[in-house]
Amino acid sequence: MQICPSILEKTTNDYFSVIKKLSSYFNYFQLDFTDGEYVDNKTADIDEFLNELTNYQEINNFYFDFHLMLKNYKDVIEKLKKLVINKKIKVNHVLIHFDLSPKNSLFSDVSIPFTIGITLNPDDKVNDLAQKYNINKIKAVQIMSVYPGFQGNSFLPKMIKKIEQLRIIGYKSKIFLDGGVNDQSISFIKSQKFLPDVICPGGYLTKSPVEEILKRIHLLNS
């Protein structure tokens, strides 16, 4: 399983501080943004962040996923498209929530230079996803193992079953697990028959004291 730290912060400067803190160990990050509408919590403004991001000196050293807990995700996708096309930033995936009902065409739009994936909240069902979309056209599914919006919410072990459900119905692309991934939950995650391709620890790494980071990474990998 690949580790991709999940960063959710209140200010643009805090995002950059966490990236810098973890940059000795990772060059791939998931950046979480909320609008205070889709979920109660509100992060730094994504427009402000993107404006500052292009001035970040080491930007070309990193790859990013964007987890958009935003009602107005379409405008953000357009801005990210321009940044990627103009080689201002490297983006692997942009993840949109299932209950926001993104159009089928979004997942096969060849003008988008990164993968559009979908995020399942704890109350979302795999069968509903498969009925609404051709899952073979969705190249990334993120399973929330907490209720979204805040880091530190309780890990929900029953959500891991969705990985098995996806594989059984023939889903072959990348599966992310986001929420509550830490030293307490990792053994349960690894004990399952079907594992996620990517785990996205949040506060376990982003809020870690600097001297503890390497130890925590080893615990996730052991």
Q: pTM above the 0.75 mark?
A: yes
Range of the domain at 124: 2-221
Output the pLDDT for position 55: 79
Q: Which amino acid is at 35?
A: D
pLDDT (0 to 100) of residue 222 = 84
Q: How many domains does the chain have?
A: 1
What pLDDT, on the 0 to 100 scale, is given for residue 148? 86
User: What is the per-residue pLDDT for 204?
Assistant: 96
Q: What is the pLDDT of residue 154?
A: 85
Secondary structure string (H, E, C) spanning the chain: CEECCEECCCCHHHHHHHHHHHCCCCCEEEEEEEECCCCCCECCCHHHHHHHHCCCCCHHHCEEEEEEECCCHHHHHHHHHHHHHCCCCCEEEEEEEHHHCCCHHHHHCCCCCCEEEEEECCCCCHHHHHHHCCHHHCCEEEEECCCCCCCCCCCCHHHHHHHHHHHHCCCCCEEEEECCCCCCCHHHHHCCCCCCCEEECCHHHHCCCHHHHHHHHHHHHC
Q: What is the CATH number of the domain that holds 141?
A: 3.20.20.70
Per residue of the chain (222 residues), what is the pLDDT tens digit?
Answer: 999 999 999 999 999 999 999 999 999 999 999 999 999 889 999 999 999 887 776 777 899 999 999 999 999 999 999 999 999 999 999 999 999 999 999 999 999 999 999 999 999 999 999 999 999 999 999 999 999 876 667 899 999 999 999 999 999 999 999 999 999 999 999 999 999 999 999 999 999 999 999 999 999 998
Going by DSSP bridges, is the β-strand pair 174-178/140-144 parallel, antiparallel, or unpaired?
Answer: parallel
